[in-house]
Amino acid sequence: MRLITKLLIVAALCSTLTVFGSTSDADKAIYKRVDALMKKMTLQEKIGQLQQLTGRKSEITGPAGEKMNTAEFIRRGLCGSMLGVKTAKDVAYYQNIALNESRLGIPILFGYDIIHGCRIIFPENLGISSSWDIAAIEKSAQIAAREAASMGIAWTFSPMCDISTEPRWGRVSEGSGEDPYLGAKIAEAMVRGYQGDDLSDPNTILACVKHFAAYGAPQAGRDYHTVDMSRRMFRDRYLPPYRAAIKAGAATIMTSFNDFEGVPATGNKWLMRDLLRDELGFTGFIVTDWGATDEMRNHGVAANGKEAAKLAFDAHVNMNMVDADYIKYGEELVKEKQVSVKTIDLLCREVLAMKFRLGLFDEPHRYGGDRYKSETYLPENLEVARDVARKSMVLLENHNATLPLKGSERIALIGPFANNRKEMSGAWIGFCEHNRSTTYLEGLQARFGKDNVVCVEGCKPFSAIEGGIAEAVAAAQNADVVLLTMGLPNSCSGEATSLTSIEVPQAQRDLLDALDNTGKPIVVLLVTGRPMDVGYEVERADALLVTWHAGTMAGPALADVVSGDFNPAGRLTMTFPLNIGQVPIHYNMKRTGRPRRSLEHTQKYTSRYMFTPNEPRYAFGYGLSYTTFDYSDLRVLTPEVAMGESVRVSVKVRNSGKCDGTEVVQLYLRDDVASTTRPMRELKGFERVELRAGEERRIEFEITPEDMSFWTINEEFAQEPGSFHVWVGHDSNATLGGEFAVRK
């Protein structure tokens, strides 16, 4: 027994002390070149490769305590990577310093946050995820990569794979919602989109899976706040998208700001070494989030920058973003034998290997130059952005078939986002040129004619405009229908935008009230990067369409949807709660020992609220179409299977309405009895199905053993025998179901 334990420890050590990288023939040649180069490097030059600096023109304190600018760091070989360099010209400028003025001429790796597009902005990621269109999502990443590469960027800090059930947390706009299964499919698609199948292709860039780990679960929805949960919960709900992205070959990973089990992620050996390297087999390199090494002082686990650097080195974090703790204290830590040369070599090796894979040593200016002139804003890519934007929009209400518009109406387009180029884009838009965005007004006028659409701002997102309401009311009175843009501005999306209210601001509600009094039909266009409590709006509006921050092609995409040229098919990927008191709320909650079974179930001692239903306003997977879909004849084709075998389920779906449309057919699974408590149901399959009016089709799903697996009581990801329930339908409330059994 003892011998086995020892052998295991030796094996574990070997796996972390040898190489991370893959052992393909191409990589063998690359590591040969890396090793030859490393022989020439001083210790400080190796540590320099582990340092990422910002392109912002600021001075940083250098290794000897002196103030230095970026160029000096580069000259001294103390900069392996830069982020936030915004023009191809600046990329070339810094690259030339590295090539010509540093001792070894090692090229710099330029990274940036290309989160939902580069020049062409796609909808914010929560919006994109609502398309459930994996191929379109992959394409959007591919276009973003191509544009970014042409601007000099070889590395994006995306995809954000943080599952979140927290609409208070503004960064939900950057993610794919609450569901691990869908999140995993999107994560791998984005990695494929960015990286293609060849990193040496100058049109592909490195992906970076972030924020590892569980950044989407901050206490009380407050950004950067503590994350504490069981490892079981983490593995079952939060890990799958990260794992899928790694499996898809993601080249890099970013540590998260938060602590996890009391240890900041950036110094968390369990996360970075045991789980990421040893268990998940991640072979790329790890970068910290912005200043996250030094922030370990604020977390209170390091007394100073040197201790912080040691923690990050010990966790085998390869690259330090922006704070200078690695280059300031690395050499000293090695001299004092607190960090080994071996560790530095190990970390540096992977950074250099990635630069070789990208072809930077052979052709350091391959990203950037003049390429952006011919490779950004390509018309065919703008069309993809339009298609993704309209596919992302989710129709939540549509009374009396208010939408689609008939085409002959006089339209009053009102609200703070109606004709506001800047507000189309959302957060993280470093390369966005707002003048290239089309507004809702432009889109609608192009579709319905200039004279048929009048536009009034009415109010600002958070405040009234003098005379604004009166002007809006006058416009409404002269129109047949009101399209009212409401919601939250870009500045309420993304990092550091946590909120304790997810209602539409009062100034906009005042405008809505006044318009409601005109008696005209009102279509609310909800501009948001997060789920909102829209109870007030729903009571007053005839239709409600979530447009998100739809990006460069917002205008035409909206026109496509409201005109009926495109039949909406977006489905929510995050629950919209009844009110903020229900948060966190998500469809895949646990059952509890005292489940409340229905709205009518009023037994006091059940898991429920006294005065509010448990159910949300709009469930995960929900979204309307201009047509209707009926489900029937669900068949479990394999009612009994052995462990390791797949289950097949089929169902008939019919377009029962009057126009063609796309349904997102969704399959949910419940493991009835397991060794640990399991969710009420979990998404385990979906398919976007286009059906002509009246058309019926049988759709078949395969539920694999992996789909049935979870982190069992035996601490392994495995399948267990027993009975399962399966449902297929329109959303997570699907009722048409069946059962099957898995034999031992």
As measured in angstroms, the least distance from the Cβ of 113 to ligand BGC is 5
Nearest distance from C-beta of residue 160 to ligand BGC, angstroms: 7
When binding is defined by CB under 6 A, the residue of 52, 55, 108, 113 that contacts ligand BGC is 113
Q: What sign for the dihedral angle of Cα 134, 142, 322, 313?
A: positive
- Site residues (CB under 6 A) for ligand BGC, limited to 453-512: 495
CA distance 502 to 221: 12
Question: Among residue numbers 202 through 221, which ones bind ligand BGC (CB under 6 A)?
Answer: 210
Name the residue nearer to ligand BGC (CB basis): 195 or 508.
195
Q: Tell me what percent of the chain is helix, strand and coil, each rounded to the nearest 5.
A: 35, 20, 45
Lookup result for tokens 């950074």: 351
| Least distance in angstroms from the C-beta of 223 to ligand BGC | 9
Tokens of 261: 């089990």
Q: Please, how many CA atoms are within 13 Å of residue 367, restricted to the half-sphere of its CB?
A: 37
Minimum distance from CB of 499 to ligand BGC (Å)? 18
Q: Which of residues 60-99 bind ligand BGC (CB under 6 A)?
A: 83
CA 218 – CA 205 distance, rounded (Å) = 30
Question: Between 246 and 275, how does the x/- string for binding to ligand BGC read (CB under 6 A)?
Answer: ------------------------------
Nearest CB to ligand BGC, comparing residues 291 and 616: 291
Least distance between ligand BGC and beta carbon 733 (Å): 34
604: CB partners within 8 A, 6+ apart: none
Cβ closer to ligand BGC: 115 or 543?
115
Q: Cα separation of 545 and 485, whole Å?
A: 10
Does residue number 290 form part of the binding site for ligand BGC (CB under 6 A)? yes
What single DSSP character describes residue 123? P
User: Which one, 110 or 440, has the nearer CB to ligand BGC?
Assistant: 110
| 3-state SS class at 543 | strand
- Of all residues in the shown chain, the one whose CB is closest to ligand BGC is 157
Q: Which is nearer to ligand BGC, 292 or 346 (CB)?
A: 292
Cβ at position 703, least distance to ligand BGC in Å:
34
For the chain, the distance separating the N- and C-terminal CA atoms, rounded to the nearest angstrom, is 30
Shortest distance (Å) from residue 502 CB to ligand BGC: 21
Minimum distance between the CB of residue 471 and ligand BGC, rounded to whole angstroms? 40
Strand residues in 1-54 grouped as ranges (E): 51-54
Q: Which is nearer to ligand BGC, 226 or 338 (CB)?
A: 226
Applying CB under 6 A, the site for ligand BGC has a residue count of 7
Kindly tell me which of 101 and 495 has the beta carbon lying closer to ligand BGC: 495
User: Which x/- pattern, by CB under 6 A, does the window 119-158 give for ligand BGC?
Assistant: --------------------------------------x-
Question: For the stretch 672-689, what's the b/e string if a residue is b when 16 or more beta carbons lie within 10 angstroms of its beta carbon?
Answer: eebeeebbebbbbbbebb
Q: For residues 543-582, which are near ligand BGC according to CB under 6 A? A: none
Draw the binding track, 668-687, toward ligand BGC (x: CB under 6 A; -: no contact). Answer: --------------------
- Token readout for 480 is 């047949």
Within 13 A of 379's CA, how many CA atoms are on the CB side? 0
The smaller minimum CB distance to ligand BGC, of residues 495 and 660, is found at 495
Cβ distance 488 to 527 under 8 Å? yes
C-beta of 436: minimal distance to ligand BGC in Å?
A: 22
222 counts as binding ligand BGC under rule CB under 6 A: no
Write the interaction track for ligand BGC spanning residues 27-66; mark x where CB under 6 A is met and - where it is not: ----------------------------------------
* Beta strands 411-414; 67-68: pairing state: unpaired
Measured CA to CA, the distance from residue 668 to residue 703 in angstroms comes to: 10
Catalogue the E-assigned strands of 390-487: 394-398, 411-414, 453-456, 481-487
* Three-state DSSP state, 275: helix
The C-alpha atoms of residue 415 and residue 419 are separated, in whole angstroms, by 8
Tell me the closest approach of the beta carbon of residue 157 to ligand BGC, in angstroms.
3
**Ramachandran quadrant class, 597 (left: phi over 0; alpha: psi -120 to 50; beta: rest):** alpha
Nearer to ligand BGC, 81 or 102 (CB): 81
Question: How many Å apart are CA 511 and CA 1, to the nearest integer?
Answer: 74
Report the chain's C-alpha Rg in angstroms: 27
Query: Given the complex with ligand BGC, which of 55 and 623 has the nearer CB atom?
Result: 55
Which position among 223, 289, 323, 671 bears the catalytic label?
289
Q: Using CA atoms, how far apart are residues 461 and 210, in angstroms rounded to an integer?
A: 31
List the one residue from 147, 236, 289, 457 that touches ligand BGC (CB under 6 A).
289
Burial class for 528, CB neighbours closer than 10 Å (0-12, 13-18, 19+): buried
Contact 78, 84 (CB under 8 A): no
Any idea of the CA torsion for 276, 281, 284, 285, to the nearest 10 degrees?
30
720 scored as a contact of ligand BGC (CB under 6 A): no
Q: In the bound complex, what is the minimum distance in angstroms from residue 156's beta carbon to ligand BGC?
A: 9
- Stated as kind and residue range, the H or E segment containing 443 is helix 440-448
- Is 516 catalytic? The answer is no
The answer to whether the beta carbons of residues 215 and 268 sit under 8 Å apart is no
Closer residue to ligand BGC in complex, CB, 290/367: 290
Residues forming the active site: 289
- Residue ranges that bind ligand BGC, judged by CB under 6 A: 83, 113, 157, 210, 289-290, 495
